[in-house]
C-alpha cells in the first residue's frame, strides 16, 4: 500500500475493557495502519494515548477523526501530521545511545522528538547560548531567559525576540539541564500533560547525572 502520510492522534479513552481494540478496529475500517501506541497519561477514569497511524495515498485525515470519535466514550484531543517518525523509543534506550555517542548531548536532543512525540528539542547554556539542537529547532538568537527553577511550560516570547521563531502554535516545555535548559517544542500541540512534564524532567536529571559521571 502506498502511504501518503503518517498522523499522530492523541485520544482520551474511558477505562473500559476493549475500548482500545474498538479504536483499532475503527481505524482499520478506514484503511489506516497503526504504527505505534504510547500511553501518555492515566487516571482511574481514563487513559490518554498517542497513536501513530499511516493512511493510504489519497485518503483524508478527517476520516481518522470521524472513525475514532465514533467509538462511544472516546474523545479525539488532537490530530497532526507525523513527519516520518515511526519509532516510539524507550527512555533507557535513548540514554544508552546518547552515552555511547561522541557527542552525547547532541544525540540526546536528536532522539527526543521520537521519544516524546515532539517537533524538536534543544539544549541552551546558562547564558542562553544554543549548545545542541535537533532538526527543525529554531536557529534564532535567544534572549537572556535562564535559569529555570524547575519544569515550566514556556511562551516563545520568553526565549526569542522573533515572535514566530518557535513555529506555528507551538507548545514549549523547558526543564533545567546542566545549568541551562532542555527545551521541547511541539508545533500544533497538543499541550504537555503533567505526566509528560514529569517524565521529561526525570529524564533530564538522569541524563545530567550520567553525563557528569562520564565526564561528557
The answer to whether 94 and 115 are in contact (CB under 8 A) is: yes
Tell me whether residue 77 is exposed, middle or buried, using C-beta atoms within 10 angstroms of its C-beta: 0 to 12, 13 to 18, 19 or more: middle
Task: Indicate if the pLDDT at residue 2 is higher than 60.
Answer: no
120 contact partners, CB below 8 Å, separation of at least 6: 113, 133, 134, 135, 136, 137, 138, 167, 184, 185
Mean pLDDT, residues 87-113 = 87
Task: Indicate if the pLDDT at residue 107 is higher than 80.
Answer: yes
Q: Is residue 73 very low, low, confident or very high in pLDDT (cuts 50, 70, 90)?
A: very high
Give pLDDT, residue 144. Answer: 93
Give pLDDT, residue 115. Answer: 87
Bin 58: left if φ > 0, else alpha if -120 < ψ < 50, else beta: left
Mean pLDDT, residues 133-144 = 94
CATH of domain 91-214: 3.30.450.270
Q: Among 87-91, 146-150, 207-211, where is mean pLDDT lowest? A: 87-91
Higher confidence at residue 80 or residue 148? 148
pTM, full prediction: 0.74
- Same topology, domains 3-82 and 91-214? Answer is no
Task: Indicate if the pLDDT at residue 175 is higher than 90.
Answer: yes
Work out the percent of the chain whose per-residue pLDDT is above 70. Answer: 92
Q: Which three cell numbers stand for residue 60?
A: 483524508
Q: Is residue 160 very low, low, confident or very high in pLDDT (cuts 50, 70, 90)?
A: very high
Task: Indicate if the pLDDT at residue 1 is higher than 50.
Answer: no
Q: Is residue 17 very low, low, confident or very high in pLDDT (cuts 50, 70, 90)?
A: confident
**Domain map of the chain by residue range?**
3-82, 91-214
Give pLDDT, residue 110. Answer: 95
Give pLDDT, residue 6. Answer: 83
Task: Indicate if the pLDDT at residue 86 is higher than 80.
Answer: no
- Domain 3-82 homologous superfamily, CATH: ACT domain (3.30.70.260)
Is the sign of the CA dihedral 52, 56, 61, 65 positive or negative? Answer: negative
**Strands of the sheet with 46-56, listed across from one edge:** 33-42, 46-56, 3-14, 75-82
Three-state DSSP class for 11?
strand
182 contact partners, CB below 8 Å, separation of at least 6: 109, 121, 122, 123, 174, 175, 176, 200, 204
Q: What is the DSSP letter of 72?
A: T
Task: Indicate if the pLDDT at residue 195 is higher than 90.
Answer: no
Q: Is residue 203 very low, low, confident or very high in pLDDT (cuts 50, 70, 90)?
A: very high
Residue 214 backbone dihedrals phi, psi, to 5 degrees? -85, -5
Tell me whether residue 194 is exposed, middle or buried, using C-beta atoms within 10 angstroms of its C-beta: 0 to 12, 13 to 18, 19 or more: exposed
Amino acid at each position: 500500500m502506498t502511504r501518503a502520510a503518517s498522523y499522530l492522534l492523541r485520544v482520551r479513552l474511558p477505562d473500559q475493557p476493549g475500548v482500545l481494540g474498538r479504536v483499532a478496529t475503527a481505524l482499520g475500517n478506514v484503511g489506516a495502519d497503526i504504527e505505534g501506541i504510547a500511553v501518555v497519561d492515566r487516571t482511574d477514569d481514563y487513559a490518554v494515548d498517542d497513536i501513530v497511524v499511516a493512511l493510504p495515498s489519497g485518503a483524508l485525515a478527517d476520516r481518522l477523526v470521524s472513525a475514532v470519535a465514533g467509538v462511544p466514550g472516546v474523545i479525539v484531543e488532537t490530530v497532526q501530521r507525523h513527519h516520518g517518525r515511526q519509532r516510539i523509543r524507550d527512555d533507557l534506550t535513548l540514554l544508552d545511545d546518547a552515552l555511547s555517542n561522541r557527542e552525547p548531548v547532541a544525540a540526546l536532543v536528536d532522539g527526543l522528538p521520537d521519544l516524546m512525540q515532539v517537533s524538536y528539542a534543544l539544549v541552551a547554556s546558562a547564558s542562553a547560548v544554543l549548545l545542541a539542537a535537533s532538526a527543525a529547532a529554531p536557529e534564532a538568537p535567544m534572549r537572556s531567559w535562564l535559569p529555570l527553577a524547575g519544569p515550566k511550560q514556556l511562551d516563545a516570547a520568553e526565549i526569542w525576540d522573533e515572535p514566530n521563531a518557535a513555529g506555528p502554535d507551538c507548545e514549549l516545555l523547558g526543564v533545567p539541564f546542566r545549568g541551562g535548559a532542555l527545551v521541547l517544542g511541539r508545533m500544533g500541540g497538543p499541550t504537555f500533560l503533567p505526566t509528560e512534564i514529569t517524565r521529561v524532567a526525570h529524564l533530564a536529571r538522569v541524563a545530567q547525572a550520567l553525563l557528569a559521571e562520564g565526564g561528557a
